[in-house]
A and B are shown apart, each in its own frame.
Chain A
């Protein structure tokens, strides 16, 4: 039962973290290059534009959910299982989500990068 709870919490971390990354990426592409915007219109305009973007705020909420799900997962099982499993699955889930929702060109090079990094993070954290 404890293992089931742990894997449900890990799944929640991966889903919330991936949603947060995708929403944040979408929001920042909508805002545009922040360096150019700041030079052209100043800090106040930039902040208003970022915090006025709905997907940015939703992304923040998703990331907060991921953080609390991680806390719950850590309360049910060891960090040596939860940490690497959540981090490496999030890398792979992000590649799928970016292709589906952000229509990014995830070519063979990027798939390889996501899988190598996911495997590497898993080996580093165990």
Chain B
């Protein structure tokens, strides 16, 4: 995987975590929103935390869509879930929150999942892809880099 692709994957992870955190902070400032007054959700955009959070979530979506253009869904989803671990570590060491044993086991499981998927290929090569490549009759470099 190229340097640019690693950057896109890091963007998916970081923008999602930061966007969710900002949105959560903004919504807590606004208080409870009743389902009978859904229009209040629209006014939430005037809160600066919510507005910046939405900008980050749009950036997340752009990176996510970009990653899906060259990698499998079953590769992108587990690989970018390391964001959950980053959030838990920020909570422990940055915000000095208590992280329970169950959460440490959760962090270990996610890390194992990310490790398992990261070692494999990012894209399934379908039959029609290979055929199209053969049709072009380009020289094939066995074991060549991307």
Contacts and interface: CB of A to CB of B under 8 A. Distances in A.
Interface of A: 21-22, 24-25, 28-29, 31-35, 50, 71-72, 75, 91, 94-95, 98-99, 102-107, 109-110, 112-117, 119-126
Contacts of A117: 77-78, 81, 109-110, 113-114
Interface string B20-54: 00000000000000010000000000000000000
Interface of B: 4, 35, 64-66, 68-70, 72-75, 77-78, 81, 84, 88, 102-103, 105-114, 116-117, 119-120, 124, 126
A123 B102 contact: yes
Contact of B103 (A112, A116, A123): A123
A94 B84 contact: no
B9 to A, nearest CB: 13
Contacts, number: 120
Nearest to A106: B74
Main secondary structure of the interface of A (DSSP, over half): helix
Contacts of A114: 74, 77-78, 113
A110 B120 contact: yes
A120 B106 contact: yes
Contact of A121 (B4, B64, B66, B84): B84
Contacts of A124: 84, 88, 103, 106-107, 110
A103 B69 contact: no
A59 to B, nearest CB: 9
Nearest to B41: A71
B35 A75 contact: yes
Given A28-B68, A98-B72, A105-B124, A71 B35 contact: yes
Contacts of B110: 116-117, 120-121, 124
Given A35-B66, A114-B74, A117-B114, 16 more contacts: A24-B68, A28-B65, A28-B69, A29-B68, A50-B65, A109-B119, A110-B75, A112-B116, A113-B113, A114-B77, A120-B113, A123-B102, A123-B103, A124-B88, A124-B106, A125-B106
A20 to B, nearest CB: 11
A117 B76 CA distance: 12
Contacts of A29: 68-69
A94 B74 contact: yes
Contact of A119 (B4, B66, B106, B126): B106
